[in-house]
Amino acid sequence: MTKILAAKPVTEALVKEMQASAITVTAQLGRKPKLVVVVAGDDPASAIYIRNKQRRAEAVGIDAATEHLPASVHTSDVLAVVQRLNADDGVDGLIVQLPLPDGVDAEAVRNAVDPDKDVDGFTDVNQGRLWSTPKGQPITTLRPCTPRGIMKLLDFYNVPLAGKRAVILGRSNIVGKPMAAMLLHADATVTIAHSRTTNPQTILSDADIIVAATGQAGIVSDADVKPGAVIVDVGMNRIAGTDGKSKLVGDVDFDGVQYLASAITPVPGGVGPMTVNMLIYQTIEAAQKRAAAK
């Protein structure tokens, strides 16, 4: 029987944990932990994502605010806001919502965020801290939320990682590379496959764990998966359904693969909700570190 790695029970457990942690750190700081999202322009997808963050923050007892800038901003304008929020002792978590308007230097903005407030885990400092965590020691740095959410999901469902052969499809700094670092730290043997990889099917067919993060609907089929593999589908792709309406699907052909896999994440309802969970989780962690330093 294939186990469906759904986010809902994980979220329920995490919300209880975060609510308790938020109460404790609020008493220590004399205020609620606070997350600030900097957004420039009016991207519809960003607006939905920000609303989801706001709702989850309120549900666990932390403050969330948005700094909304016009689409006409320059890099210097965004950097000025980031620097002001870096210096604000009442802000624990800070993210800059992507995409930024054309002409804004996203790399400069990304690395301007204080690493101790970088709850997206995107700065070069935190990426470097992740990769350099010594074997046998816990990862304590803030890290990219999607791969951290995947690790929480796998842990909740008691999916063994040590000694397993893991293949990641995709090499982005947001998912693929940090996912590799976290799985490697958990003692998995990790391969990253990407658009220039030759014969990726051969690599996939030997994998105990597959993490698909390419943004290409159905790129992983039953022909690529060995029986008993664990499948983590990061993809979120809109395609036309048979009824003419669009539907959300992952990078994995769920219907074809689920009967081969020992466990698989659904789309929607799998990896997606874990990203927002980890953003709030890391904001509380950042506030806890701030409280401990007082």
By CB neighbour count within 10 A (0-12 exposed, 13-18 middle, 19+ buried), where does 236 fall? middle
Q: Do the Cβ atoms of 55 and 71 come closer than 8 Å? A: no
Please tell me which residue in 34, 97, 118, 258 is annotated as part of the active site: 97
Buried b (16+ CB within 10 A) or exposed e, 39-48: bbbebeebee
Phi, psi for residue 201 in degrees, rounded to 5? -60, -35
Pairing of strands 34-40, 63-69: parallel
Respond yes or no: is residue 97 known to be catalytic: yes
**Please, how many CA atoms are within 13 Å of residue 35, restricted to the half-sphere of its CB?**
31
Contact 188, 164 (CB under 8 A): yes
Q: Is position 83 annotated as part of the catalytic site?
A: no
Is residue 269 a known part of a binding site?
Answer: no
The reply to whether 172 sits in an annotated binding site is yes
CA triple 273-102-113, angle to 5 deg = 55
117 is catalytic: no
From 53, 117, 152, 177, the catalytic residue: 53
Tell the residue number behind the tokens 């549900």, with chain if given: 59
**Of these residues, 116, 118, 120, 253, which one is catalytic?**
120
- Binding residues for NADP(+) are 170-172
Catalytic annotation, residues? 53, 97, 120
- Binding residues are 170-172
